[in-house]
Amino acid sequence: MTTQALPREPRQNRSRATRARLLEAAIDCLASVGWAGTTVTVVAERAGVSRGAAQHHFRTREELVTAAVEYGSQVRTARMREHLDALAGRRPSTLEVLTLLGELYTSPLFRAALQLWVAASSDEQLRARVVPLEAKVGREAHRLTVEALGADESVPGVRESVQATLDLVRGLGLADLLTDDSSRRSRLLRQWAETLEAALTRTTPPH
């Protein structure tokens, strides 16, 4: 048993590494050349993987791209968690959390996800696949932001403030799509940090 099982391990690892290379290449490809230019063949070439091997993992562009955005969002969650852990117990400031969110929502991952959401908006089959993914990614982003801010959602208004924060950074991501919007974004996030802090530390309902 052991002698049979052993050689399989490296093959599985290789397969997993190939899959990850394809998913990362798909995110880069989507973010730079867009939905129309992102085919399994183009992504395979970018990843340095044979077309056959790529199609063993992903039969269609839709499968590949959806998996890539899901994978990217898991990587993003893991990175944000690492970042929080690196603070070694110190609670990050509201502005630190907002700056991190501002970076995430202007990253290739946001651009890749945007390409997928927009393609899905005019393709019923793709939409059926993307809606549950969008909901999952949204829930993860919300949970992580609540945790990073140390927000208490039992306080009335706090949940909405966290949601508004994520809608705001999503809007900022869109504003950064065609031109570098970073200095305006920094200014806005500094002011938003004050507004959000006031909302989070309010212990009585706003009314």
Q: Does 171 bind a copy of itself (CB under 8 A)?
A: yes
Stretch binding a copy of itself (CB under 8 A), from 15-23, 67-75, 145-153, 176-184: 176-184
Contact 124, 96 (CB under 8 A): no
User: Which residue number, 75 or 174, has a Cβ lying nearer to a copy of itself?
Assistant: 174
**Whole-angstrom Cα distance, residue 46 to residue 39?**
11
Q: Tokens 């290379």 map to which residue?
A: 21
Burial class (CB in 10 A: 0-12, 13-18, 19+), 82: exposed
Q: What is the DSSP string of 56-85?
A: HH-SSHHHHHHHHHHHHHHHHHHHHHHHHH
**Alpha helix stretches (DSSP H) within the chain:** 2-37, 40-47, 51-57, 61-86, 94-104, 108-120, 124-149, 158-175, 182-201
User: Which residue number, 19 or 35, has a Cβ lying nearer to a copy of itself?
Assistant: 35
Q: Does 174 bind a copy of itself (CB under 8 A)?
A: yes
Given 45, 134, 140, 197, the residue binding a copy of itself (CB under 8 A)? 134
Given 78, 87, 167, 201, the residue binding a copy of itself (CB under 8 A)? 167
Minimum CB separation of residue 149 from a copy of itself in Å reads: 16
H or E element that contains 157? none
Q: What's the full length of the chain, in residues?
A: 207
Stretch binding a copy of itself (CB under 8 A), from 1-9, 41-49, 69-77, 125-133: 125-133
Q: Does 199 bind a copy of itself (CB under 8 A)?
A: yes
Q: Does 143 bind a copy of itself (CB under 8 A)?
A: no
**Whole-angstrom Cα distance, residue 188 to residue 101?**
13
Stretch binding a copy of itself (CB under 8 A), from 56-64, 82-90, 146-154, 155-163: 155-163
Minimum CB separation of residue 140 from a copy of itself in Å reads: 15
> Restricting to residues 35-74, which ones interact with a copy of itself according to CB under 8 A?
36-37
Minimum CB separation of residue 88 from a copy of itself in Å reads: 31
Stretch binding a copy of itself (CB under 8 A), from 15-23, 31-39, 42-50, 76-84: 31-39
Handedness of CA 81, 82, 83, 86 (dihedral sign): positive
